[in-house]
Amino acid sequence: MIEIERKFLVKDDSFKTAAFAKNHIAQGYLSSVPERTVRVRIKGDKGFLTIKGASNEAGLSRFEWEKEIPVAEAKALLLLCEKGVIDKTRFEIKQGDHVFEVDEFYGENEGLIVAEIELNSETETFEKPNWVGNEVTGNNRYYNSYLSTHPYKNW
């Protein structure tokens, strides 16, 4: 139940041609405090409730618990969320033994494209595709919970 991930900015949209999956995501936060975020998400035709703990000092690891819930319940919970529902498309791209999840944001966060890769350990190596730019792991400005209350367009 520990999530280990690294996060990067994306240089261009060339990743789209390599994607094996693409889903629209709407997500909101019932709680966006860094010590425990509670997220409601609709991804494609599925709903999810996720609780995440605070990140470690390096920003690489944190507790994560997620359960699938009916979409109707997720839609109802989104109405209870804090201001700033995130709207994005997630592209999944296989690179070597890993999968990069690339989020292209819309609405208040239009223009932002971020790639994440989940790892088995904080020191695990991986292949970086040529469209991967600067690393932003641990920079809380790129957390979706932050983006929901501090949109990219206002930076």
Per-residue pLDDT reduced to its tens digit, 138-155: 999 999 999 999 999 999
Active site residue 143: no
* pLDDT at residue 142 in the model: 97
Whether 25 contacts 104, CB under 8 Å? no
* pLDDT at residue 133 in the model: 98
Give the pLDDT confidence of 39-55 residue by residue, as tens digits. 999 999 999 999 999 99
pTM for the model: 0.94
* pLDDT at residue 59 in the model: 87
Q: What residues of the chain score a pLDDT lower than 70?
A: none
Residue ranges per structural domain of the chain: 2-154
* pLDDT at residue 112 in the model: 98
Q: Record the tokens describing residue 85, joined without a space.
A: 């529902």
CA–CA separation, 130 and 112 (whole Å): 18
* pLDDT at residue 87 in the model: 98
What count of other Cβ atoms lies within 10 Å of the Cβ of residue 10? 21
What count of other Cβ atoms lies within 10 Å of the Cβ of residue 14? 11
* pLDDT at residue 34 in the model: 85
Active-site annotation holder among 29, 106, 142, 152: 29
CATH number of 2-154: 2.40.320.10
* pLDDT at residue 58 in the model: 86
* pLDDT at residue 39 in the model: 98
Side-chain-side CA neighbours of 144 within 13 Å: the count stands at: 29
